[in-house]
């Protein structure tokens, strides 16, 4: 288990997301959640704070997105907090991940600044 301050995005499409999960109350739950989330393609590292009931996930947004992680957590019985702030923040995370995925698949730009003839 990592500590949240050791998680730093280093790659081009890597993002660090904080998810508040009220059901995270024991160490046993932490290991279950870490195991399942780590199996997703693109997830690099996870940090869990039991006392704060927070899950920090470092992942490659070009391979996996916030909504997929939330769906896996919900299927396991660990849904994120259901309040307006979490839904608002989740919408921003999902929008950002969608843009990152689209930009990762975009063709490379032109090689020079000359206008076409």
Residue of 31 and 64 predicted with greater confidence: 64
Rounded to whole angstroms, how far apart are CA atoms 25 and 49?
A: 9
In a domain, residue 117? The reply is: no
Mean of pLDDT values over 34-62: 88
Structure confidence by residue, pLDDT tens digits, 52-110: 888 899 999 888 999 999 999 999 888 999 999 999 999 999 999 999 888 888 887 76
Mean of pLDDT values over 19-28: 80
In a domain, residue 2? The reply is: no
Q: How many domains does the chain have?
A: 1
In a domain, residue 112? The reply is: no
Q: Which domain holds residue 87?
A: 12-105
pTM (predicted TM-score): 0.81
> Any idea what the CATH number is for the domain that residue 87 is in?
3.30.70.100
Structure confidence by residue, pLDDT tens digits, 51-65: 888 889 999 988 899
pLDDT the model gives residue 24: 79
């Amino acid at each position: 288990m990592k500590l949240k301050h050791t998680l730093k995005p280093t790659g081009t499409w890597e993002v660090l997301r904080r998810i508040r999960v009220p059901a995270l109350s024991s160490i046993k739950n932490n290991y279950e959640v870490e195991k399942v989330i780590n199996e997703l393609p693109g997830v690099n590292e996870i940090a869990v704070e039991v006392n704060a009931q927070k899950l920090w996930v470092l992942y490659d947004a070009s391979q996996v997105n916030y909504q997929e992680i939330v769906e896996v957590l919900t299927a396991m019985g660990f849904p994120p907090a259901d309040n307006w702030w979490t839904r608002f923040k989740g919408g921003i995370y999902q929008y950002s991940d969608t843009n990152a995925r689209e930009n990762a698949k975009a063709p490379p730009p032109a090689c020079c600044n000359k206008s076409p003839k």
